[in-house]
Chain A
Amino acid sequence: MKKYLYMFIATLALASVAWATESQIWGEMRIQNILGYGQEESLKLGVLFTFLQSKYFAWIFLAVLIGVPTVFFVHYKLVGPKVFPHSHKKHYAFNLFHRTVHQIAAISFLVLVPTGFIIVFGDFFGGGTLVRMAKNLHGIFTIPFAIVVIPMALMWLKEALFNFEDVKWFMILGGYLSKEKQIINATQFNAGQKMWYWVAILGGITMILSGAMMFFLDFKMEMLHNLTGLSQIDLLRVAAIVHNVMGFAVVALFITHVYMSMFAIKGAVNSIITGYVEEEEVKFLHNAWYKKLKEKGKF
């Protein structure tokens, strides 16, 4: 973990040093940056970025922003929420450390996602001060998330590894398509939660790195050029494309995560606030975990 932390700090340090030294974009490097544009043997990243950003990115974000909540609204109306009694026995599953890490990530996301949308639909908001502020907040709230993402990855890693039961979970979509309460043989995290874990952690780190590249812009990292053979502007183009595409997945699953915890399973969100999970919820939705806890004499 320390290794990653050092690597992250080193990245930031290198980037700030780069400001003081020769520009990687407009100085001598400018020739290298612009000569390859659109040529046959190049990846045509400039053309690709222009095409995607001008024609698709904003529309896909709009589709995610409207489509995902619409699907859940219909689900809520047709299938309805799963309601479990909250008066039964409880199990203390999330300690203060778990909850603090989760809450810092949660607050970061609650700022990052809306400000990201304000930037994407910047023309709708008329640009200027409001959108500029959103851009600055988008950068600032990356810092708390960057601090907790590695601890969060480590603390839930064991529970987030996929197993054979997860295939069955996906086949019936966790039983969320039926009104009946079914016994789902999931461990502490079901396959959906595991999927969110990987998108939030790996996707989140990808977002941090690609976002940092775009924020620092004129940084110098020989390693990246040697590794990819790309010029500085091409690296930035890759970062912008990756940041947007990964953004679709992160936002879609973030909305899903909020819907599941707040609406689909009534009151499930309380478990990450108080740390206590309800016996009935665990028994039905995480039966494998329930059996294990029972053996240990919990509940």
Chain B
Amino acid sequence: MMEYARMKFYCDESRCIECDGCSIACAEAHELPVGISRRKVITINEGIPGKEFSTSVACMHCTDAPCEQVCPVDCFYIREDGIVLHDKEKCIGCGYCLYACPFGAPQFPRDGAFGAKGAMDKCTMCAGGPLETNSEKERHLYGQNRIAEGKVPLCAAMCSTKALLVGDAQSVSNIFRARVAARGKGANAPYGWDKAYKNQ
């Protein structure tokens, strides 16, 4: 059997300059409706000297993803490389995944009947959905499937300071360690890793 790499996001807090480029690149690449942003840059401890930092958050594609555990219609599926995807045609827009998510990632466009919440939308790590790869319908519902084309997810590809990285766990860890060693500080795991990857 083939061993799959575990795909992870890593945002280097000492490199992120809060330019919001990742968020806009994502929204444009996937032609997201207004009001939906799968990725968002947040600044934590704003105004507190020495403690303030910015980071980019989206779906972290967690290990044992809580969203997948709570979904009443079981619309989530986790790829062998760890990418957490969902079936928008199964999703009923109940909101449970949002309550389970540590990162506030699932969003709900109000396009259902009587202003009800429509199917959930979140970051796919540019890996599309359960439909035929690179089909028109997949693109319409989930956005680009760059992974299938062998490309890096757009947010990380365009990050100007290379703060945001995405890749297999081993490569990401190597870069993280190298950067920490070079800086001689900041050995703490980046924001969200404890919740998403249980620090593994």
Contacts and interface: CB of A to CB of B under 8 A. Distances in A.
Interface of A: 19, 23, 25-26, 30-31, 33-35, 37-38, 46, 49-50, 53-54, 58, 119-123, 125-128, 131-132, 135-136, 139-140, 214-215, 217, 233, 236-237, 240
A131 B96 contact: no
Contacts of A125: 73
A215 B101 CA distance: 18
Nearest to A217: B95
A139 B115 CA distance: 11
A46 B100 contact: yes
Nearest to B107: A26
Interface of B: 35, 37, 40, 42-44, 57, 66, 69-75, 87, 89-96, 98-104, 107-108, 110, 112-117, 195
A135 B104 contact: no
Contact of A140 (B72, B101, B114): B114
B104 A49 contact: no
Contact of A30 (B35, B90, B104, B108): B104
Contacts of B37: 26
B95 A131 contact: no
A282 B91 CA distance: 50
A238 B56 CA distance: 27
Contact of A38 (B91, B98, B104, B195): B195
Contact of B117 (A26, A30, A49, A217): A217
Nearest to B35: A23
Contact of B102 (A46, A132, A135): A46
Contacts of B99: 46, 49-50, 53, 233, 236-237, 240
B102 A30 contact: no
A136 B115 CA distance: 10
A207 to B, nearest CB: 15
Nearest to B36: A26
Contacts of A122: 72-74, 92, 94
B44 A35 contact: yes
Given A119-B94, A127-B75, A131-B73, A50 B57 contact: no
A140 B115 CA distance: 11
A83 B93 CA distance: 47
